[in-house]
Amino acid sequence: MSTILITGASAGIGAATARHFLAQGWTVGLLARSEDRLLALAEGQPRAHVLPADVTDEAQVAAAFARFAARAGRLDVLFNNAGMFGTQAPIDEIPVAEWRRIVEVNLTGMFLCAREAFAQMRRQTPMGGRIINNGSISAHVPREGSVAYTATKHAITGLTKSLSLDGRPFDIACGQIDIGNARTELLDGIIARSPDTPPPVMEVGEVASTVLHMAQLPLAANVQFMTLMATKMPYIGRG
């Protein structure tokens, strides 16, 4: 039986992915700050393990990963998903405290979770596993007013590449999925701000099924970078 720990599992892409993996028979660790939402998601799911933790807190992250490994026996996959968009504004209107808040969640939080996953995968028997980082279309092309979010998502690409290299001796694969306009609460907020010109969207279930495809590959194969987006997004083309 395969095991996966999903961060940011209480809503959006994380929750949709958790439901899909549970439906496929995986043992799933649900990590997020909102314990109530995680408990609701895990209700009636004996293979779901609720792991309330703040991804920016080193001690909480370490304890959550240790609990899951002890319960599940091993960690096959980490879906490193937790993140936030933050305030949408030009750079001179972004308080430094807001910049630091977004960097803590989107970059430091993903580092801490990858660090714990790597350590567990390196020492378990049989050795190895897979880390899937949630990047973004913003890792390539940004939205307006997203300097902090965009900077962190570019950094995640570097994290993915470094983990891929460092994981080779230990059979730890690392890949990245860059998602564009999956219908979640975050995108609903963007749509609400532009009701006359809503962006093209895709269903969030498409993300969940794609993450499952990446996770099910044998460790001898890896999706290094995957771009999954709404077909009519203006990602390809010139202005």
Q: Angle at Cα 135 formed by Cα 62 and Cα 152, nearest 5°?
A: 75
Give the tokens for residue 138: 């913003």
DSSP 233: S
> What value does the mean pLDDT of the chain take?
95
Antiparallel, parallel or unpaired: β 27-32 and 77-80: unpaired
How many whole angstroms separate alpha carbon 63 and alpha carbon 227?
32
Q: What pLDDT digit, counting tens, does each position of 55-80 carry?
A: 999 999 999 999 999 999 999 999 99
Task: Please pick, among 21, 79, 85, 149, the residue that the annotation labels catalytic.
Answer: 149
Q: What pLDDT digit, counting tens, does each position of 214-234 carry?
A: 999 999 999 999 999 999 998
How many whole angstroms separate alpha carbon 29 and alpha carbon 78?
9
pTM: 0.95
N- to C-terminal Cα distance for the chain? 49
Q: What are phi and psi of 159, to 5 degrees?
A: -60, -45
What is the arrangement of strands in the sheet containing 172-180, beginning at the earlier edge strand?
A: 48-52, 27-32, 3-7, 77-80, 129-134, 172-180, 225-229
Q: Find the mean pLDDT for residues 200-211.
A: 96
Q: What pLDDT digit, counting tens, does each position of 134-163 carry?
A: 999 998 998 889 999 999 999 999 999 999
pLDDT band at residue 165 under the 50/70/90 scheme:
very high
How many whole angstroms separate alpha carbon 34 and alpha carbon 52?
7
Contacts of 182 (CB under 8 A, 6+ apart): 12, 13, 201, 202, 203, 204, 206, 207, 228, 230
Give the tokens for residue 26: 């995986």
Q: What pLDDT digit, counting tens, does each position of 78-123 carry?
A: 999 999 999 889 999 999 999 999 999 999 999 999 999 999 999 9
pLDDT band at residue 236 under the 50/70/90 scheme:
confident
How many whole angstroms separate alpha carbon 196 and alpha carbon 207?
26
DSSP string, 183-198: -SHHHHHHHHH-TTSP
Residue 114 region by backbone torsions, left for phi larger than 0, else alpha for psi between -120 and 50, else beta: alpha
* Active site (annotated) includes residue 235: no
